[in-house]
Amino acid sequence: MPAYTPPLRDMQFVLHEVLKVSDEFKALPKHADIDADTINAVLEEGGKFAAEVTFPLNISGDTEGCVLDKSTHEVKTPTGFKAAYEKFVEGGWAALSCDPEYGGQGLPFVVNQCFYEMMNSANQAWTMYPGLSHGAYEALHAHGTDEQKRLYLPKLTSGEWTGTMCLTEPHCGTDLGLLRTKAEPQADGTYKITGNKIFISAGEHDMASNIVHLVLARLPDAPAGSKGISLFVVPKFKVNADGSVGERNPIYCGGLEHKMGIHGNATAQIVIDGAVGTMVGQPNKGLAAMFVMMNAARLGVGNQSLGLTEVAYQNALAYAKDRIQMRSLTGTKAKDKPADPIIVHPDVRKMLLTARAYAEGGRAMACFCAVLLDKELNHPDEKVRKDSAELVALLTPIVKAFITDNAWTATTACQQVFGGHGYIKEWGMEQYVRDARINMIYEGTNTIQSLDLLGRKILGNNGASLKKFGKLVAQLVEAEGVNEKMAEFINPLAYLGDQMTKFTTEIGFKGFQNPDEVGAAAVDYLRVAGHLVFAYFFARMASVALKEIAAGNTDPFYQAKLQTARFYFAKLFPETASLMRTARAGSKVLMDTEAVFA
Measure CA of the first residue to CA of the last residue in the chain; give whole Å. 50
Measuring CA to CA, which residue among 12, 11, 9, 18 is closest to residue 544?
Answer: 18
Measuring CA to CA, which residue among 377, 383, 364, 365 is closest to residue 31?
Answer: 377
Q: How many CA atoms lie within 13 A of 43 on its CB side?
A: 26
Q: How many CA atoms lie within 13 A of 589 on its CB side?
A: 6
Contact 449, 401 (CB under 8 A): yes
331 CB neighbour count, 10 Å cutoff = 9
Angle among Cα 65, 71, 75 to the nearest 5 degrees reads 25
Measuring CA to CA, which residue among 100, 144, 111, 148 is closest to residue 11?
Answer: 111
| 245-248 vs 237-239, strand pairing mode | antiparallel
What is the widest separation between alpha-carbon atoms in the chain? 84
268 CB neighbour count, 10 Å cutoff = 28
Q: Is 122 exposed, middle or buried (0-12, 13-18, 19+ CB in 10 A)?
A: buried
Coil, strand or helix at 183? strand
Spot the catalytic one: 443, 480, 517, 548: 443
Contact 162, 133 (CB under 8 A): yes
Coil, strand or helix at 192? strand
DSSP3 helix / strand / coil % (the chain, rounded to 5): 65, 10, 25
Measuring CA to CA, which residue among 414, 410, 409, 417 is closest to residue 341?
Answer: 417
Tell me the C-alpha distance between 314 and 320, whole Å. 10
Q: What's phi and psi for 256, nearest 5 deg?
A: -110, 140
Residues 6+ apart with CB under 8 A from 110: 15, 19, 21, 367, 370, 371, 373, 374
Active site residue 443: yes
Coil, strand or helix at 248? strand
User: Read out DSSP for 350-388?
Assistant: HHHHHHHHHHHHHHHHHHHHHHHHHHHHH-S-HHHHHHH
208 CB neighbour count, 10 Å cutoff = 24
CA 477 to chain centre: 29
Q: Is 549 exposed, middle or buried (0-12, 13-18, 19+ CB in 10 A)?
A: middle
Tell me the C-alpha distance between 351 and 354, whole Å. 5
Helices 464-480/516-550 angle, 10° precision: 30
Q: Indicate the residue type of 553.
A: N
Catalytic residues: 443
